[in-house]
Chain A
Amino acid sequence: MDTPENGTPTPEAPAAGPYVYDLAASPQRQVVLPKTAPLPSLKAYRAEVAAAQAADEAKWQKMLADFETAKAKAAEEGKPEPKAPVRPVPRKDDNDVKTPFPTEAADPDLHRLVELLADKVEEVFEQAGELVCQVRKECVLETLLLCRDDEQLKYDLLADETATHFPAARDFAFSVVYQLTSISRRKKLRIRILIPEGFEPDSAFPAYPTANWLEREIYDMLGIRFRQHPDMTRILCPEGWEGWPLRKEYPVVGLGQRDIDFREDRSGVLMRMAMEKAGQMGINLKVPKAD
């Protein structure tokens, strides 16, 4: 390394050329962020259906108006009357697919929750036979304790807890869901909260000790910290890992992996260098040819 006049060594410039694989430009490292925030919700579904119906109606009205003008034009020119438009019916498909859409909450458990929590509940609905209750993010622990201890609810098992990243959403960044099971009543319930970036929800550990590892996994994968959790450390990734792998901006190929990608080596330069290196070390990598 050559030292300039002032005596401080300049950092060595990274070797340019085709041999060094450009990590940032790797096709596997390109991330396409989602454009929508697919959060199932009865309100959003209703708004979507209403908008679709309005668009449908507007299209039909336009077709009718077009027909009227065409008719008037034809009468003016003395031509035969054009064909009247037919309202298009949605195409029927004969697949065995019946998409489950959100429906009004009909289950007594959800009514009970609304009754007990009143304005702390943001939304209740059912979808695909599952009960969903979305509560305000500050009162999740209160809700869980209620679900566990209330005589009419008795959800004694926390089956699962996980979170989802929604980078396209405006007023929240993550949803955290708690899957509760009542062993004695044979029922399942999903509690959901929406949290912005940086918000620390209460840990479910006091209500369900099983949340210990589940919340550590959420922290490890998505970087959501839980308040008053007994041990908020990474669980699956090593301690010094950078980034939150299950966030949408994280590439599928992990950071620090596969610095040389031989699949990108179209001209065979890297392979030739490897052969030369092997030759210097006295290893013959070439396949011997038959006489």
Chain B
Amino acid sequence: MFVFLEFLVFKTEEMEINLGPQHPSTHGVLRVKLRLDGETVVQCTPIIGYLHRGVEKICENKTWFQGQVWTDRMDYVAAVTNNLGWAEGVEKLFGIQVPRRAHYVRTLLAELNRIASHQLWLATHALDIGAMTVFLYCFRDREAILDIFEAFCGARLTTTAFRIGGLREDVPPGMDRMVRNFLKAFSTGIEEYETLLSENRIWKKRTVGVAKLQAKDAVALGITGPVLRAAGVPYDVRKAFPSAAYAEMDFQIATRPEADTYARYLVRLEEMRQSARIVQQCLDGLPEGPVMAKIPKILKSEVCEVYHSIEAPKGELGYYFVGEKGGANPYRMHVRAPSFVNLQALPKMTEGNLLADVIAAIGTLDVVLGEIDR
């Protein structure tokens, strides 16, 4: 009896463990220092920088055209949206007017990339939580998008899809059919993901009410993208500050009020559907005309600073450029990486919760370390 009572008043001792940087569920080289009390997280400190390559410094020594290549290597699962941000930012700095057809093709490819990025997110997030089949389904469908990129620019991941002033070449013959085939396959594919997960009891147990982040905290922490929209804030850069051809597109901003992991899953699924709608509209309304503006061979900037942001799959992706007079390369280039800012919310989402939910929280934030460390 006495021994039993001793167990009731046992003292707990806090323990410090490292999650990563080689842990497969941290999606790259993220290291999270956790202070645990039993299975409860007391303190969570993300440690980053293992993939730092100094992209900003390198781009300051490359011309306006060459720098775009480096944007592929930041968010490497959504290279096309990175290219879009770079191209539009530089065009804003120079005041270049891009033809309407180029805007449409850009929008089409960027939205396809959003679908591909969300598919990769769903695949790995579900795999982290324990659902293996979704991974295979998502990768099967994502393959078609990579094939479309390959047909368009010859590369599947590091695309460098656009040029400053438009596109290098018009869309190849037959790409139209590829995209239509993909859309047809995708409409059934996304239903398959939903049948696997949406009403799955284990999935709901692992996601509903997990890693909550209320709207007030999210805005204060600068969170953007699906994580913010799943907290009920309808902020989408495509609607708020439309660029490319988004002003002419008909789509809705997906929001949910619950602010938990399950809500983010639903928001991203809805976003994929809306992206497919935009792709369809781009295909149907693709205008005729040139795809490249008339720009000089060597771009020489004036004294100017711009901050241009677009809606990347992970959130607001911003490029800040400073140009000097007669400068053939950026005087200063800075990337506002959505994952970098979003990862700041990890302590807020995990502290006081269970260790297993840390994995769900990292997955639901959808971070890409290439973009965080740059």
A contact residues vs B (CB 8 Å cutoff): 34, 36, 38-40, 44-45, 93-101, 127-130, 132, 156-160, 162, 164-165, 177, 179, 181, 183, 186, 188, 190, 208-210, 212-214, 217, 221, 234-238, 245-246, 250, 252, 254
- In the complex, whether B48 has a CB less than 8 A from a CB of chain A is yes
Task: Name which of B191-199, B275-283, B327-335 contacts chain A.
Answer: B327-335
- In the complex, whether B202 has a CB less than 8 A from a CB of chain A is no
Chain B positions 266-321 with a Cβ under 8 Å from a chain A Cβ: 293-296, 302-307, 309, 316, 318, 320
Q: Is the CB of A162 within 8 A of B220?
A: no
Q: Is the CB of B57 within 8 A of A179?
A: no
Q: Is the CB of A128 within 8 A of B56?
A: no
Residues on the B chain within 8 Å of A213, using CB: 340-341, 343-344
Residues on the A chain within 8 Å of B54, using CB: 245, 254
Q: Is the CB of A210 within 8 A of B222?
A: yes
- Bound CA–CA A91/B334 (angstroms): 34
Closest 7 CB pairs of A and B: A210-B222, A38-B324, A98-B95, A160-B336, A96-B293, A236-B49, A162-B334
**Can you list 16 A-B contacts (CB < 8 A)?**
A40-B303, A40-B305, A96-B96, A100-B93, A101-B302, A127-B304, A128-B304, A128-B306, A129-B92, A159-B309, A188-B307, A209-B222, A209-B344, A238-B49, A250-B57, A254-B54
Residues on the A chain within 8 Å of B334, using CB: 160, 162
Assuming the contacts A36-B324, A164-B322, A188-B241, asked whether A100 and B233 have C-beta atoms less than 8 A apart, the reply is: no
Q: Is the CB of B305 within 8 A of A235?
A: no
Residues on the A chain within 8 Å of B323, using CB: 38
Residues on the A chain within 8 Å of B252, using CB: none
Residues on the A chain within 8 Å of B219, using CB: 156-157, 183
- Bound CA–CA A158/B341 (angstroms): 10
Partner of B294, one of A38, A96, A234: A96
Q: Is the CB of A183 within 8 A of B96?
A: no
Q: Is the CB of B95 within 8 A of A97?
A: yes
Shortest C-beta distance, B60 to chain A (Å), equals 8
- Bound CA–CA A234/B52 (angstroms): 12
Shortest C-beta distance, A46 to chain B (Å), equals 12
Q: Is the CB of A128 within 8 A of B318?
A: no
- Bound CA–CA A287/B60 (angstroms): 41
Partner of A221, one of B56, B224, B295, B373: B56
Shortest C-beta distance, A288 to chain B (Å), equals 36
- Bound CA–CA A97/B303 (angstroms): 15
Q: Is the CB of A246 within 8 A of B57?
A: yes
- Bound CA–CA A96/B97 (angstroms): 6
Smallest CB gap from A252: residue in B: B61
Shortest C-beta distance, B291 to chain A (Å), equals 13
Residues on the A chain within 8 Å of B322, using CB: 38, 40, 164
Q: Looking at chain B, what size class is its interface with the partner chain?
A: 35 or more
Residues on the B chain within 8 Å of A39, using CB: 303
Assuming the contacts A157-B222, A179-B320, A246-B56, asked whether A186 and B240 have C-beta atoms less than 8 A apart, the reply is: yes
- Bound CA–CA A91/B97 (angstroms): 20
Smallest CB gap from A164: residue in B: B332
Assuming the contacts A208-B222, A246-B57, asked whether A100 and B95 have C-beta atoms less than 8 A apart, the reply is: yes
Residues on the A chain within 8 Å of B305, using CB: 40, 127, 132, 177, 190
B contact residues vs A (CB 8 Å cutoff): 48-49, 52, 54, 56-58, 61, 92-98, 165, 219-222, 224, 233, 235, 240-241, 293-296, 302-307, 309, 316, 318, 320, 322-325, 327, 331-332, 334, 336, 340-341, 343-344, 373-374
Q: Is the CB of A97 within 8 A of B341?
A: no
Shortest C-beta distance, A243 to chain B (Å), equals 12
Shortest C-beta distance, B94 to chain A (Å), equals 5
Smallest CB gap from B341: residue in A: A210
Residues on the B chain within 8 Å of A186, using CB: 240-241
- Bound CA–CA A191/B279 (angstroms): 37
Residues on the B chain within 8 Å of A95, using CB: 293-296
- Bound CA–CA A93/B296 (angstroms): 9
Q: Is the CB of B303 within 8 A of A183?
A: no
Q: Is the CB of B331 within 8 A of A96?
A: no
Q: Is the CB of B233 within 8 A of A183?
A: yes
Q: Is the CB of B220 within 8 A of A40?
A: no
Residues on the A chain within 8 Å of B344, using CB: 209-210, 212-213
Shortest C-beta distance, B53 to chain A (Å), equals 10
Shortest C-beta distance, B230 to chain A (Å), equals 15
- Bound CA–CA A188/B222 (angstroms): 14
Residues on the A chain within 8 Å of B293, using CB: 95-96
Q: Is the CB of B295 within 8 A of A235?
A: no
Q: Is the CB of A158 within 8 A of B304?
A: no
Residues on the A chain within 8 Å of B332, using CB: 164-165, 246
Smallest CB gap from A210: residue in B: B222
Shortest C-beta distance, B367 to chain A (Å), equals 13
Smallest CB gap from B220: residue in A: A209
Smallest CB gap from B324: residue in A: A38
- Bound CA–CA A41/B350 (angstroms): 44
Smallest CB gap from B320: residue in A: A162
Residues on the A chain within 8 Å of B222, using CB: 157-159, 208-210
- Bound CA–CA A75/B339 (angstroms): 78
Q: Is the CB of A99 within 8 A of B316?
A: no
Partner of A183, one of B240, B307, B320, B336: B240
Residues on the A chain within 8 Å of B306, using CB: 127-128, 130
Partner of A214, one of B95, B98, B341: B341
Q: Is the CB of A99 within 8 A of B57?
A: no
Smallest CB gap from B340: residue in A: A213
Smallest CB gap from A212: residue in B: B344
Residues on the B chain within 8 Å of A214, using CB: 341
Smallest CB gap from B323: residue in A: A38
